[in-house]
């Protein structure tokens, strides 16, 4: 973790702690001293135990839900969402601790809810103060990095504007490869032009600099090799552009794909390799997603038992055969697995599908048909209510699927995929997802399904999963299940 990241992390921690302390003080003052809604029999020891449990809940909430995104770039909307998620986490952990510890203060719901409400309101306010401090006072920090930039005029703006936003760096000057003698000493985007390409190294040797950024168009590193060696010999941190990655990102139309892409440098043998990943998620969030999946799957399996028992008898009476339907599907990055559902079709459904392909309502590889004759009467009911999906909780528990993800294609669909279609498999498939809560019965173009899936992948977060789960419950109770 860089100095800037460590400093921001500490300030964010202190801001969150200050927000919670103020929330406690406000809640105690309003509901105890002012409104007198907290019973007087609580003693100082009980309050101390409550505060210790609150401190534990805060530590867990901060460690698990604090995002690594630069706080100075985080929008107000993201701040509010973060405050909501973290406050919910603190409340859930604190409630659990109070119940397990049988704390008398657990009955003081006004005090409890007041702390959470005030914390939700105050946290974005404290974060705004931190941002202002970093952007103003932080620029004068003696720990800031002095930066020099070598670039050309038509590439200068994006790099310089981005570096200006970093409070931990001060741009001391710019060297332009294509600068004329008359331009040296003038400014570009408010920054002094210190040198041209020929006297670039002279400037770097003379001026106080900690880091140098090289952003120049080149087809090979041969022309810069001597400069890189000399810069390294000075003990400077050197950042240089990679043309191959630049061309790759510039040529791709998906903005979300570019924003998620992350690169890493590794050495294999005598070769240095840059690896790129278009799905780059925090390992902590992925672990939390898996924990939520396991807990949700266990609860889902328990809840599923009575529903499956109720529909089992009429389902088997109407169409003799296995109760459960097992089908080979394609999961994460092309892995095969067997999906489990309650059987909603007659036993000869797969054979009859070939005869019905002409009536397919989907434009693409998926098959969907209104009043599909292969579906039994009981099958229509369990599909409309999504009861047929309940056995998939077993797939989630096994790790083949997630509660929220993309729809897993059949093997036949997958064999017809074009390259960009496979990207929807770059996360685990889910029982529900963007497609299911976006009016799936009205979506008839497969490319629209792919677009929704990639939108989910590009913008994935635990908060988005929670939103989709809530919408799924609403969709199911509204009777908007699959046809």
Q: Would the pLDDT of 107 be above 60?
A: no
In a shared domain, residues 235 and 318: no
Q: Which residue has the higher pLDDT, 464 or 225?
A: 464
Inside any domain, residue 254: no
Q: Which domain holds residue 371?
A: 283-477
Secondary structure (3-state) at 413:
helix
In a shared domain, residues 129 and 151: no
Q: Which of 91, 106, 138 is the last residue of a domain?
A: 138
In a shared domain, residues 320 and 415: yes
- Mean pLDDT lowest among 23-32, 43-52, 419-428, 458-467: 43-52
Tell me the percentage of the chain whose pLDDT exceeds 90.
18
pLDDT of res. 259: 47
pLDDT of res. 364: 58
In a shared domain, residues 400 and 425: yes
In a shared domain, residues 133 and 154: no
Inside any domain, residue 277: no
- Tens digit of pLDDT for each residue in 304-349? 999 888 888 888 887 777 888 888 999 988 899 999 988 877 766 6
Inside any domain, residue 267: no
Inside any domain, residue 268: no
- Tens digit of pLDDT for each residue in 241-256? 877 677 666 655 444 4
Among 96-100, 304-308, 350-354, top mean pLDDT goes to 304-308
Residue (of 132, 207, 212) closest to 169 by Cα position: 212
What mean pLDDT is reported for the chain?
80
In a shared domain, residues 361 and 452: yes
The span from the CA of 285 to the CA of 67, in Å, is: 9
- Mean pLDDT lowest among 40-44, 201-205, 270-274, 374-378: 40-44
Inside any domain, residue 252: no
What residues form DSSP beta bridges with 290?
none
Q: Which of 138, 170, 196 is the last residue of a domain?
A: 138
CB count, 10 Å around CB of 243? 13
In a shared domain, residues 327 and 210: no
Inside any domain, residue 274: no
pLDDT of res. 163: 86
Q: Would the pLDDT of 419 be above 70?
A: yes
pLDDT of res. 243: 72
In a shared domain, residues 162 and 192: yes
Q: Would the pLDDT of 279 be above 70?
A: no
Average pLDDT over residues 221-236: 76
Provide the CATH number for the domain around residue 216: 3.40.50.720
In a shared domain, residues 220 and 127: no
Average pLDDT over residues 458-479: 84
Residue (of 371, 337, 343) closest to 356 by Cα position: 371
Inside any domain, residue 197: yes
Q: Which of 138, 169, 195 is the last residue of a domain?
A: 138
Regarding beta strands 187-188 and 191-195, do their DSSP bridges make them parallel or antiparallel, or are they unpaired?
antiparallel
- Mean pLDDT lowest among 16-30, 162-176, 261-275, 425-439: 261-275
The phi, psi pair for 103, rounded to 5°, reads: -75, 135
In a shared domain, residues 461 and 323: yes
DSSP string, 152-207: -HHHHHHHHHHHHH-TTEEEEEEEETT--TTTTTSEETTEEEEE-STTHHHHHHHS
**Count: domains in the chain:** 3
In a shared domain, residues 153 and 84: no
Inside any domain, residue 247: no
- Tens digit of pLDDT for each residue in 112-130? 888 899 999 999 999 999 8
Instruction: Give this prediction's pTM.
Output: 0.61
- Tens digit of pLDDT for each residue in 422-468? 888 888 999 998 888 876 656 667 888 888 888 888 888 888 899 89
In a shared domain, residues 114 and 161: no
* Reported confidence tier of residue 6, pLDDT bands at 50, 70, 90: confident
Q: Which residue has the higher pLDDT, 219 or 341?
A: 341
């Amino acid at each position: 973790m860089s100095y800037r990241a460590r400093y921001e992390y500490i300030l964010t921690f202190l801001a969150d702690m200050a927000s919670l302390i103020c929330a406690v003080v406000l809640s105690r003052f309003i509901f105890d001293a002012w409104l007198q809604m907290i019973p007087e029999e609580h003693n100082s020891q009980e309050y101390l135990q409550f505060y210790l449990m609150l401190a534990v809940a805060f530590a867990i909430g901060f460690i698990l839900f604090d995002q690594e995104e630069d706080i100075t770039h985080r929008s107000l909307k993201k701040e509010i969402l973060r405050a909501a998620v973290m406050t919910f986490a603190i409340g859930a952990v604190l409630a659990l601790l109070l119940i397990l510890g049988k704390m008398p203060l657990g009955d003081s719901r006004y005090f409890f809810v007041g702390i959470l409400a005030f914390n939700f309101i105050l946290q974005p306010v404290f974060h705004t103060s931190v941002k202002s401090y970093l952007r103003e006072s932080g620029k004068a920090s003696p720990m800031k990095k002095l930066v020099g930039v070598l670039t050309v005029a038509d590439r200068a703006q994006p790099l310089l504007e981005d570096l200006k936003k970093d409070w931990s760096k001060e741009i001391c000057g710019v060297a332009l490869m294509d600068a004329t003698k008359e331009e040296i000493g003038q400014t570009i985007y408010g920054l002094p032009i210190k040198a041209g390409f020929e006297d670039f190294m002279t400037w770097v040797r003379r001026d106080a600099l900690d880091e140098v950024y090289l952003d120049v168009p080149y087809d090979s590193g041969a022309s810069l090799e001597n400069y890189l060696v000399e810069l390294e010999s000075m003990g400077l941190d050197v950042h240089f552009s990679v043309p191959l990655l630049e061309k790759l990102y510039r040529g791709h139309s998906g903005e979300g794909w570019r924003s998620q892409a992350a690169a890493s440098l590794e050495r294999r043998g005598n070769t240095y390799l840059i690896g790129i990943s278009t799905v780059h998620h925090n390992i902590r969030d992925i672990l939390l997603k898996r924990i939520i999946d396991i807990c949700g799957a266990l609860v889902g399996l328990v809840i599923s038992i009575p529903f499956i028992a109720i529909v089992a008898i009429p389902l088997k009476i109407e169409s003799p055969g296995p109760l459960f339907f097992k089908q080979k599907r394609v999961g994460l990055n092309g892995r095969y697995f067997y999906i489990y559902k309650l059987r909603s079709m007659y036993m000869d459904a797969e054979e009859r599908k070939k005869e019905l392909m002409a009536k397919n309502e989907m434009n693409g590889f998926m098959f969907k048909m209104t009043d599909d004759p292969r579906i039994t009467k009981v099958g229509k009911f369990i599909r409309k209510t999504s009861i047929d999906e309940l056995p998939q909780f077993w797939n989630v528990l096994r790790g083949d699927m997630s509660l929220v993800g993309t729809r897993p294609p059949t093997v036949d669909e997958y064999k017809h995929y074009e390259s960009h279609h496979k990207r929807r498999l770059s996360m685990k498939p889910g029982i529900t997802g963007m497609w299911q809560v976006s009016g799936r019965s009205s979506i008839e173009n497969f490319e629209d399904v792919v677009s929704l899936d990639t939108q989910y992948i590009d913008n994935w977060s635990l908060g988005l999963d929670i939103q989709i789960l809530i919408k799924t419950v609403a969709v199911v109770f509204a009777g908007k299940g699959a046809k």
